[in-house]
Amino acid sequence: MKWYQALILILLLFVPNLSAAEDFGTRQEAVDMVKRVKALAARDGLQAAVEAVNSQRPEFKIKDLYPFIYTLEGISVAHGANVKMVGKSWITTKDQDGNYLIQTMVATASSREGSGWVNYKWPNPLTHKIQDKSAYIEKLGEDYFVGVGIYSGL
Amino acid sequence: MPVAHLSDAFSFKRSISTKLFVACALVAICSSLGAVKVYLGLNATTRGLHEITDLYRPQQSAARTIARQADLTHQRLFLFVAWSSVGVAAQRTSKLGADLTEALSRIKELLEEPGLRRGLKSAELGLVIEASKQWDDYAKSAMDVLDIGSGDPALATMMLGGVDDQYRSIYQDIIALNNAISDRGDRTASSVSMWASNASAALIAGQVALVALLIVLCALLYRSVFRPVAAVTAAMTAIARGSETAPLPLSKRTDEIGRMIKAIEGFRKKLEADRASIAYLAEHDALTGLSNRTKLEQKTTEVVERAIRSGELAAILLIDLDGFKLVNDTQGHAAGDQLLIQVADRLRLCVSDSEVIFRLGGDEFAILLDDLQAVQAAQFAKELGQVIEAPYHLNGIATRLSGSMGIALAPIDGTTTASLLKRADMALYEAKAEGRNTFRFFRTDIEQHITDQRNLEGDLRNALHLRQFELVFQPLINARTQQTTTFEALIRWRHPTRGVVSPADFIPIAEQIGLMEEIGGWVLDEACSAARSWPDTIRVAVNISGLQLQAGTLDSVVLGALLRNGLPADRLELEITESVLINRSDDIIESLKRLRRRGVRIAIDDFGTGYCSLSYLRLLPFDKVKVDQSFVRDACRASVSIIKAIADLGSSLGAEVTAEGVETAEQCERIVEAGCTELQGYLFSRPMPKSEVSRFLLAAQDQENVA
C-alpha cells in the first residue's frame, strides 16, 4: 500500500459518525430476506425480483438489511442500498483486509452447498461507515447469486 | 629473345620504381582501409545518435509522461474519493472528477500514439498493447469509482483497493515499457560508443600502419636511392680528383642504380683510357712515337738526381740530322716524315729502353744515357753516328744523312735540365760548326765561342740593313791575251768591332739562319749595278750558294737583277760550287739551262773537290770550270796532272778553265802550261773595291799600250 493510500484510509477513520446506532438486522432476518428474493424470482422471474430489490420495496428494506444480486462474474444486477452499483463489475473489489469479498461470494454460491456465510467489511448505508459485515449467500438460478448481509458493531 | 625477356622481367621485378610502386600501393590500401573503417564507424555512430535523438528520446519521454500522468491520475482518483468522503465542495470534487475523466482518456490516447510503438520489438509492443488494454479496464473501474464516489464515498473507498490492484498491474507494464525503451536507448548508445571506439581504434591502427609504411618507404628510398646516389657522388668526386682506382660501390645491384653504376664504370674505363692516351700524347711525339721535349725535361731531372746520388755520370746527347732539310725540301714533307720515322727506329735499336730517346721537334733528337763514363758516351756517339749514316730508302730512292751530336755530362756540365740542355746544344752547335757528321762534348771554352757565334748571328741579321756589306772585285785574266775578261764579285762584311769578316765565316751562318737568299739577292743586284759602268767586254761573276739554288727562285732573282740594272745577260756569270751541284735535282739543272739559254754564263766553282762524276758533268750546263786553288798551290806532279786533265776536259767540252789562287809567276807558268785558259789570283790583283776597278782597267790598258 502506498503512503497516500494509507493516509487517505487514516483520514477516513477519523470521519465522525453521522447517525446514531440503529437496530441491526439478525442473521435469521438476513436468511429470510434471501429466501424471499429467491421466492419472488421463482414466482415472478428474475426480472421481477431485480426490480423489487432495486426499487427498495419494504419487504426488502428491513432495518439495515437489504438484498443484492450479482452475476457469477461479479457484476451487480440489483442492489437494495445503492442502485448505482448495478451494472458495474465488482469482482476485483476488496475490503480493508485485502479480502476479495465478491470473489468469495461467487465461490460460496458456486460451491456444492450453493449457500453460506461470507464475512467482510462494507460501508453501512445508514451510518456511511465501513463496518464488519456478514452476508448470507445463496445461488440464484444458474448464473446469479443473491445475498443479504448483517453489520456487526463498529 | 626469351633470355632477354627473362632478364628484363627480372630487372624490372627488382627495380626501384617497382618497389616504390608496391610501397605506395600498400600505403594507399592501408590508408583507404582505415578510412573506410572509420567512415563506416562514424556513419553507424551518426545513425545511432540520430536514433537516440530522434526516436528513443521522444519515445522514452512519451513513456515517462505516461508513467507520470498515470501515477498522477491514480493519485487523483484517491484524492477524489477522499474529497468525497470528507465532503469537499461538490463543485471542486466534480471538477476533479472531470479532470480525471479527461486524464484517463488522454493517457489512453498516449498509449495508442503510434510514435510510442515505432521501432519496438514484438515483446515491447506486447507490453504497450497490454498496458493499453489494461488501461481500458482501469479507466472503466476508475469511472465506476467516480460514479459511486459522488454519492457513496465509503463504497468508493471500498472500490479503491481493486482499482489500485488494477493500477499496479498497469504500472508494472508501463515501467517495463519504460525500461525496455531506456534499455533500447542504452543499447543503441553503447553500440554508438562501440562504433565510435572501433572507428577510433581503426583510425589509430591505420595511422600506425601508415606511419610504419612511410618509415619503410623512407628506408627503402634511403637504401635504394639516396645512399647509392651519395656513394656514386663520392665515387664520381674521387674520379674527378683523378683517383681512378677508387672502388665503385654497389656494382652487384641489378636495379636502376646498379645499371647506373655499370654505366659509370664504363665511363670511368673510357676516361682512364682517354687519360692514358692524353698522357701518352702529352709526352710523346705523334710521328715517331718517341717521347717529346716535356718528357725529356722530366726524365732528365730524374736521371740527374740518380747520377748525383750514385756518383756515376749521366749524359744527354742531342742529335741534329745534317741534310734533313734538303730531303724535306726536295722530296717533300711526306718523305721527310718517313725519314724521321726510320731514324727513330734506328735510334731505338741503339738503346735498351726506348723511353730514353726523345724527339725535340724537326730533325732534332735527344738520348739520355745513365750510369756511364765519358769514354763510353763517346763510343756510343760514334756508333750512333755510323748507324745514322747508313743509307736510307725513301720511295725507292737511296738517301744519305748524317748526324751531328752534342753531349753534355751530368753532374759535371750542369745539374739542372735547362743548363744541361743548353750545354748539350752548344756542343751540338760546335759539332755542326766543325763540319757536321761528328760529335762534340761540351767544353767550357766553347761556351764563349758559341756565345760569339750567337752574337755574330744577331749582327748578321742587321748587317744588310746597316749597309755593312760591300763587294770587292777580283779580275780574271785571259791567259793568252793577258786581258781582264771578268771580275768576280766577292762579298765582304765590314763589322763595326770585328773589322772585316770573311765570307767563309759568315756565309755558313747566313745559310743557317736563312739570310742567304736575301744576301745573295743583294750581291746579284750590287754586282750587276757595278758591272754596268764597266766596258762592254768585261763580265761580272757572282757566287751562287746552294740554298739560292734550292729556293727555286733563281731565274727570277737573276733576271730581275739584270733588268733592274740594264745589264745584258751575257755579261753575268754565275759561279756554282761543284759540291753544291752534286745530287741536285732536275729542277735546278733545268733552271740553270734556262738561264744559260738567255745568255747567262755558268761556271763550276772549286772544281775537283766535289767528286763530280764525269758522266754527271755531261748533263750539267756550264761554260767554265774553275780549278780549286788547292791544286794550284800544290806544286806536286799529281796536282799538275789533275789540272791538266781538267783543262783537257774543259777544252774538249768547249768550256773555259780558270785557275784560282795564282800567287806566283811560277804557278802561273805551270798552269798555263797545263792548259788553263784563265787566271785569277794575287799575282794579278787582290780583290778591289768597286771604285778601283776602272783605275785598274786603265792601268792595264796603259801597260798593254806600253808593251
CB-CB neighbours of B571 under 10 Å: 21
Name the band, by pLDDT with cuts 50, 70 and 90, for residue B186: confident
Is the pLDDT confidence value at B583 over 80?
no
Name the band, by pLDDT with cuts 50, 70 and 90, for residue B103: very high
What domains lie within chain A, and their CATH numbers? 26-152 (3.30.450.20)
Which one of A4, A94, A130 has the shortest CB-CB distance to B154? A130
Higher pLDDT, B243 or B280: B280
Name the band, by pLDDT with cuts 50, 70 and 90, for residue A21: very low
Between A and B, how many CB-CB pairs are < 8 A? 76
Is the pLDDT confidence value at B673 over 60?
yes
Name the band, by pLDDT with cuts 50, 70 and 90, for residue A1: low
Higher pLDDT, B656 or A20: B656
Contact A92 B165 (CB under 8 A): yes
Q: Which of A2-6, A13-17, B67-71 is predicted most confidently?
A: B67-71
Task: Of B89-93, B370-374, B475-479, B532-536, give the lowest mean pLDDT range.
Answer: B370-374
B424 touches B317 (CB < 8 A): yes
What amino acid is encoded at B402 in this protein?
Answer: S
Cell 758516351 belongs to: B377
Query: What pLDDT is attached to residue B670?
Result: 87
Whole-angstrom CA distances from B477 to B98, B384, B539, B672, B679 are 188, 49, 12, 12, 5
In the predicted model, what is the mean pLDDT of residues B496-519? 86
**Contact A129/B at CB under 8 A:** yes
- For B144, the closest chain A residue by CA position comes to A88
Question: Among B511, B508, B520, B507, which residue's Cα sits nearest to residue B553?
Answer: B520
Query: What pLDDT is attached to residue B534?
Result: 92
Question: Among A30, A10, A61, which residue's Cα sits nearest to residue A152?
Answer: A30
**Contact B162/A at CB under 8 A:** yes
Query: What pLDDT is attached to residue B572?
Result: 95
Query: What pLDDT is attached to residue B451?
Result: 79
Query: What pLDDT is attached to residue A14?
Result: 55
- For A121, the closest chain B residue by CA position comes to B158
Q: What is the pLDDT of residues B110-130, one digit of tens each?
A: 888 888 887 777 888 888 888
Query: What pLDDT is attached to residue B1?
Result: 39
Query: What pLDDT is attached to residue A16?
Result: 44
List of chain A residues whose C-beta atoms are within 8 Å of the C-beta of residue B159: 90, 93
Query: What pLDDT is attached to residue B113?
Result: 85
**Percent of chain B whose pLDDT exceeds 90:** 19
Q: What is the pLDDT of residues B15-63, one digit of tens each?
A: 777 878 888 888 888 788 878 888 888 888 888 888 777 777 788 888 8
Contact A82 B161 (CB under 8 A): no
Contact A82 B148 (CB under 8 A): yes
In the predicted model, what is the mean pLDDT of residues B642-659? 88
Please report the ipTM that was assigned to this predicted complex. Answer: 0.79
Cell 572507428 belongs to: B199
Q: What is the pLDDT of residues A23-64, one digit of tens each?
A: 778 899 999 999 999 999 999 999 999 999 999 998 898 888
Q: How far is B61 from chain A (nearest CA, A)?
A: 25
CB-based burial label for A47 (10 Å; 0-12, 13-18, 19+): exposed
Query: What pLDDT is attached to residue B5?
Result: 45
CB-based burial label for A136 (10 Å; 0-12, 13-18, 19+): buried
List of chain A residues whose C-beta atoms are within 8 Å of the C-beta of residue B147: 84, 88
Is the pLDDT confidence value at B476 over 80?
yes
Query: What pLDDT is attached to residue B584?
Result: 63
Query: What pLDDT is attached to residue B571?
Result: 94
Q: How far is A128 from chain B (nearest CA, A)?
A: 6
Query: What pLDDT is attached to residue A13?
Result: 58
Contact A94 B147 (CB under 8 A): no
Is the pLDDT confidence value at B388 over 60?
yes
B469-478/B397-399 β-pairing: unpaired
Q: Is B686 helix (H, G, I), strand (E, B) or coil?
A: coil
Contact B155 A94 (CB under 8 A): no
Whole-angstrom CA distances from B455 to B390, B446, B460, B506, B671 are 35, 14, 9, 12, 42
B257-B263-B266 Cα angle (round to 5): 145
Which one of B157, B162, B165 has the shortest CB-CB distance to A12? B157
Residue to mutate among B138, B157, B172, with most A CBs inside 10 A, is: B157
**Contact B164/A at CB under 8 A:** yes
Q: How far is B43 from chain A (nearest CA, A)?
A: 48
In the predicted model, what is the mean pLDDT of residues B500-522? 86
Q: What is the pLDDT of residues B410-454, one digit of tens each?
A: 888 888 888 888 889 889 988 887 777 888 888 877 777 777 778
Q: Evaluate if pTM is beyond 0.95.
A: no
Contact A123 B148 (CB under 8 A): no
In the predicted model, what is the mean pLDDT of residues B363-370? 89
